[in-house]
Amino acid sequence: MSLFSQQEVADYLNMLRKIVEHGQSEGIFRRNLHPQLAAKAVFGVLDEMVTSWILSEKDYALADQAEQVADLILTGLL
């Protein structure tokens, strides 16, 4: 995270927020979720997954967890 500026993180969160808003306007995502909160939650999940993978002493493929993480995130948004 230290390699990213505050503006880059803000831009990323804004992109996630817009995706949530678009999904809500299309009736795909739950409308009772605050888009900025949902964006921060998605960012937090992804950030933790990558951070744990980078810091882990175990050798495993991060991509092996992608389907479960996507399911967790999308289930929360639907």
pLDDT at 3: 67
pLDDT at 2: 63
What is the DSSP secondary structure assignment for residue 1, as one 8-state letter?
-
pLDDT at 7: 86
| 47: Cβ contacts below 8 Å, ≥ 6 apart | 1
pLDDT at 13: 96
Burial 40-69 (b: 16+ CB within 10 A, else e): ebbbeeeeeeeeeeeeeeeeeeeeeeeeee
Contact 33, 20 (CB under 8 A): yes
pLDDT at 15: 97
For the chain, 78 residues long, the average pLDDT of each consecutive 10-residue run is: 78 96 96 96 94 89 93 90
pLDDT at 43: 95
Q: Which long-range contacts (CB under 8 A, 24 or more apart) does 27-34 make?
A: 28/78, 29/77, 29/78, 30/77, 30/78, 33/77
